[in-house]
Amino acid sequence: MSATTYPNYSPGLEGVVAGVTSISEIDSDRSSLVYRGINVHELAEHGSYEETCYLLLNRRMPRREELDQFRMLVGDERDVPSGVYEAIKQLPPSTHPMDMLKVAYAVLAPYDPDYENNDHDANVRKAIRINAKAGTIAANGYRILHGLHPIAPDSSLGTAANFLYCLSGEKPDPYTEKVMDASLTLYAEHGYNASTFACRVTVATLSDLYSGMVSGIGTLKGPLHGGANEEAMRMILEIGDPSNAESWLRNAMAHKKKIMGFGHREYKKGDSRAFYLSRVAKEIGIRKGITTYGEIADTLERIMLEEKGIYPNVDFPAAYAYYLLGIPIELYTPIFVVARTAGWCAHAIEQLDNNRLIRPTCIYDGPANVAYVPVDER
Ligand SMILES: CC(C)(COP(=O)(O)OP(=O)(O)OC[C@H]1O[C@@H](n2cnc3c(N)ncnc32)[C@H](O)[C@@H]1OP(=O)(O)O)[C@@H](O)C(=O)NCCC(=O)NCCS
């Protein structure tokens, strides 16, 4: 029997139920995503990223005074210890910001007073610190890698505005802030995806939340996961003009290339986050008088659907939305990290609240009964 036909074996764990969660639900048939029962579109459109973080960590929506208090708590935790910036300064300038983030979260861990305390309340306190600092680290880490001084975070700003402020030194206008906030909300959580699963596996050994973040960041980096948003933008720029889009795509398909920002393990009828963000990305283009990327996107989306029945995922419109906002491409996956720290922490806490070591089994498919031959007789 070949390994791939072995009973109960599913390559890539496709379709395997690996746990129970009350954090989010993906409905593949309806292409919908809810966080603790609330549709993610409602949160993106009418709520805020901070409300979403509160919901993910505390299992319910905050009342007004609870939200105000949470915003203050998060705002007060945005500062980053100078030791983290010193560590980033040691990195070669060519370091990808995702690798910088792995270093930053590894170095940040021992600065947390609750670092090795895995009690529920300590983990919630750590989750707030981890989440609050993510935007500051992503923006200032990028600045340091480019020879610039870090900018002190502004505790009065939300995560989206603080990230943009630390990146450029200027507070964003309300529209830009809202777009960034909505994209963080859409990216905040997504069930047992690869990086969240890696994070759960890590903390299930009773390691700490920061180790979970480092695992999550390393896993998210790959282009089959979060790294797709950067690759999607490079592809759009390579295409350059809407008149090239069809020939570029047909040539790529003829060479069996994977088109970045398309396809999804869970959504075979489309990713609702992509529908939402695609509308937003096109609106930004119209406001800025740059419709090129939206037109390229339309052609790619049409042909991918006609030829392969494959829809774009959230990373595709996120890519050109961020580009139109003037954000450097290497920061697109780090922005995903900024948002997803909320989901990773919620999952780490859920895992530790009812822990069981995650240790699957595998099929041995190697040689049998091989005698040991002493090294000089081989
Ligand atoms: C996300 C992804 C890894 C999901 O993969 P999966 O569930 O393992 O599905 P597969 O890679 O097995 O794809 C199934 C089929 O669709 C095709 N396919 C899937 N995504 C494709 C893409 N982006 N471009 C071209 N073909 C694609 C595969 O080639 C395969 O075709 P085949 O059966 O003829 O070999 C995959 O769609 C992909 O690589 N997408 C591009 C990267 C990306 O955008 N990642 C972000 C995800 S949020």
97 class by beta-carbon count within 10 Å (0-12 exposed, 13-18 middle, 19+ buried) = buried
Q: Model's pTM, two decimal places?
A: 0.96
Residue 30 is which amino acid?
R
Nearest to 347, CA basis, from 23, 19, 58: 23
Alpha-carbon distances, residue 305 vs 238, 244, 252 (angstroms): 21, 18, 15
Q: What is the side-by-side strand order in the sheet with 32-35?
A: 24-27, 32-35, 38-39
Q: What is the SS3 assignment for 39? A: strand
Phi-psi region of 147 (alpha: psi -120 to 50; beta: other; left: phi over 0): left
Question: Could you tell which of 16, 224, 273 is best to mutate to test the pocket of ligand 1, judged by most ligand atoms within 8 Å of the CB?
Answer: 224
Per-residue pLDDT tens listing for the chain (378 residues) = 566 677 889 999 999 999 999 999 999 999 999 999 999 999 999 999 999 999 999 999 999 999 999 999 999 999 999 999 999 999 999 999 999 999 999 999 999 999 989 999 999 999 999 999 999 999 999 999 999 999 999 999 999 999 999 999 999 999 999 999 999 999 999 999 999 999 999 999 999 999 999 999 999 999 999 999 999 999 999 999 999 999 999 999 999 999 999 999 999 999 999 999 999 999 999 999 999 999 999 999 999 999 999 999 999 999 999 999 999 999 999 999 999 999 999 999 999 999 999 999 999 999 999 999 999 999
Question: Pairing between strand 32-35 and 38-39?
Answer: antiparallel
What is the Cβ-side half-sphere exposure of residue 134, based on CA atoms within 13 angstroms? 32
Atom 20, ligand 1: residue with shortest CA distance:
263
Tokens read off for 55:
């919901």
- CA–centroid distance for 334 within its chain: 7
Q: What is the spatial distance between Cα 209 and Cα 288, in angstroms, rounded to a whole number? A: 41
Catalytic-residue membership of 255: no
Look at residue 2 in the predicted model and tell me its pLDDT.
Answer: 66
Task: Give the pocket of ligand 1 (CB within 6 Å).
Answer: 12, 223-225, 228, 258-265, 308, 310, 313, 315
* Residue 264: active-site member: yes
- Which residue pairs, CB below 8 angstroms and at least 24 apart, start in 156-159? 156/75, 157/75, 158/48, 158/49, 158/50, 158/71, 159/49, 159/50, 159/53, 159/74, 159/131, 159/132, 159/134, 159/135, 159/184, 159/338
CA of 257 to the centre of ligand 1 (A): 10
C-beta atoms surrounding 223 within 10 Å: 16
User: Are 97 and 141 contacting, i.e. CB atoms less than 8 angstroms apart?
Assistant: yes
Tell me the angle at which helices 159-168 and 332-353 cross, rounded to the nearest 10 degrees.
140
pLDDT of the residue at 6: 79
Ligand 1 centroid from CA 263, angstroms: 5
Q: How far is the CA of 271 from the centre of ligand 1 (A)?
A: 13
Residue 313 contacts residue 228 (beta carbons within 8 Å): yes
pLDDT score for 3? 63
Q: Considering the candidates 41, 190, 264, 347, report the single residue annotated as catalytic.
A: 264
Compute, in angstroms, the gap from residue 40 CA to the centroid of ligand 1. Answer: 24
Mutate to test the pocket of ligand 1, among 262, 305, 336 (most ligand atoms within 8 A of CB): 262
Atom 29 in ligand 1: which residue has the minimum CA distance?
258
- Residue 123's Cβ-side half-sphere holds a number of Cα atoms within 13 Å equal to 25
